[in-house]
Amino acid sequence: MKGFPYNIGCKPKVGLRVPLTMTFTIHIHYLLIFRMRRFTISILSLITLLLSACTQKDDQGLDKQNKVQHLRISAEVKAQDTRSIDYKLVNNRVRYSLGNKTQISVYTCIYEGSRLLFNERLNWTVKDDKKTLSFDGDINFTASVTNPNSLRILAVIGDATGTPTDLTLAPAYSEGQVIPLLSTTTPTTINVPYIMEAKLARDLGGHWIPQGENKTFKPYGHLLRVRMINKTGAAVTVTGVSSNRVLADGIQFHPRLRELKRKEYNTPLNLKLSREVTIANDQTAGETFLLWVPRLDESGTYHRLDLTLKDVESSRLYTMMRIPKGTVDYMDGVIYKAEVTLYKTAIPNPLSLLSEDVINKEGTDFVNLRNTFQIDNLATYNGAGKVGYFKHADAINRFCVEDTYPSTGGVNWHLPDFFEWNTILYDPRNAAGTGYTDREERVRVKVGVGSQASLRGAYSYWKTISYKVHIPNDAKDTYTPRPGDPARPTIKTGKSFYILSFASASVQLPDDKTPHRFPREETNINRYAFRYTLHEDRFVITCVPIGIQNIAVTDLPNLPALFSSKAAVSRIIPFYGISNASPFTYKDNTAGNRRIIDYVTNTRDETGERIIAAFSAPTNKVLPYPLDIAFPVALFKKVTE
């Protein structure tokens, strides 16, 4: 049977993203082979498709009249870079280049209604004008066409698999990837998905033409041109960036719904900059870099880019990210200016000062049993070379003076007093035996005081601070200590409660020794958020700097990204318990002692009573303890900056 050609013509598209006239010409020959009962479409002449341009918002120097920046696209046919697009700086604006490539690999689909007839990755030719793609070749359908009027072409520039109704797009980034700084000479290559979907219908002249708006390859997602601002108080050198739910691990695209759905990374994605960038304090870096994201969250707090610094402890750093977008929602194919401002708290992350492990039975080093500890098998953590239990006086004599230990190198450690424990140990209850209530309280704290706790060192912090407590309803539970006892409140296993601490305090708290020893904190620049998660055999505490960000304690359960940021510090608090019988080497695992750990402090209260730091499933508290028994020892690190 002789084939019959259809000429497909396309008028210029009017709108924001299509600035130039295009032609769209397909000669389709239907070769009906009755014996084989299949259709072959031979696309013998050019398919010419103008690629829709990414636009740039007027915050990049454009005027207010939606002036369009033309996108030029290229993807040379080679294994490692078939589907990528190049971006360069021209007069400090991001431009796009197709100039050096001859072909682009395009995931090409043709379907009749919702029935898939063809899907393969084809190499489309980049024409001399560097704005047009063409294809000339034969494709074989998998089934006969029953209604040619419902034919639809879907083409994707990008690493896509799946079907036209449910495409999976590969992530544009991987762990450790190097991100080029934008340059006038070296391109930034990004796997940005460009998608064209066009319905084929017959016009009055009997020609097949694409219908509707979708006659071009359109970019999906957003491009962020990232500018870095330094507000830490000193010059910094940036070596990388960590994506905390900004970039995506993969994307699902639904053409009919015109939407991308993100797949999140389980942990932050760490990227390296192509070279170090030094930024003076209170200045904006001259260098910028480009990132592609499928979708941005409208709330502004869900996503975060953290900066990696050279020779700076990350646990005191946090960023505030601003992406101006005007009055409309974030739009596909638009380049947005993202400002990432870096801050640093004036005090160390308080949880970072707590040792990760307790002192061993011999008192000679820390012992790491976190991965082998079994709460009901005492042999896994009691005995020679394992957890040490020390009486109050013995612990003060042996560990109060700063010292180093073999497993931690040259770091100096000391036995903390209860003001230091106050920085990380917060009680979810109002009072013993009562339920859990959200509230605000004040407490006296010391940070970085060293072994001579009565002296103010260069890095010490003595303040009355306020903190807020939030216990989500699904975290509240009860337990019965012994048969016949009344039910008491406890945190539900597997759940968390939250603290927002180091906030400004209304007035200072009195002190028994010096009236003004703990002046009130007057700012929120040192705020830290804590998450306490209870497990069967341990607490896991995570602490992250919040500073001046507009975050309330009740927001914290809905912001998991904060607690997985680069600045987050975690400590595992195993329930090693206490030892209340000579020779004080084994945990008392009876009754209410099973899910607890009480630490020695170097402090007695005004009456001379010993002070301990107690963690348990129902509560955490610094409190007097009258019995002369033995407790595990954790130490605090000496602050050196």
**Which tens digit of pLDDT belongs to each residue from 530-554?**
999 999 999 999 999 999 999 999 9
User: Is the model's pLDDT at 356 over the cut of 80?
Assistant: yes
Whole-number pLDDT of residue 316: 94
pTM as predicted: 0.80
User: Is the model's pLDDT at 3 over the cut of 70?
Assistant: no
Of 468, 557, 550, the closest CA to residue 301 belongs to: 550
More confident residue, 490 or 70: 490
Decide if 102 contacts 19 (C-beta within 8 A).
Answer: no
Mean of per-residue pLDDT scores for the chain: 78
Structure tokens at 201: 């219908």
User: Is the model's pLDDT at 229 over the cut of 60?
Assistant: yes
User: Is the model's pLDDT at 58 over the cut of 50?
Assistant: no
User: Is the model's pLDDT at 228 over the cut of 90?
Assistant: yes
**Which tens digit of pLDDT belongs to each residue from 619-637?**
888 988 888 899 999 999 9
User: Is the model's pLDDT at 480 over the cut of 70?
Assistant: yes
Residue-range domains of the chain with CATH: 28-158+193-217 (no CATH), 222-344 (2.60.40), 350-637 (no CATH)
Whole-number pLDDT of residue 73: 24
What mean pLDDT is predicted for residues 576-583?
A: 92
**Which tens digit of pLDDT belongs to each residue from 309-330?**
999 989 999 999 988 776 667 7
What mean pLDDT is predicted for residues 10-37?
A: 28
Cα-based distances in Å from 595 to 28, 53, 457, 579, 625: 75, 61, 37, 13, 18
Share of the chain above pLDDT 90, in %: 43
Cis status, amide bond into 583, omega within 30 of 0:
yes
User: Is the model's pLDDT at 259 over the cut of 80?
Assistant: no
Whole-number pLDDT of residue 104: 79
What is d(CA 610, CA 632) in angstroms, rounded to the nearest whole number?
14
What is the DSSP code (8-state) at residue 148?
G
Number of H helices, E strands in the chain: 2, 42
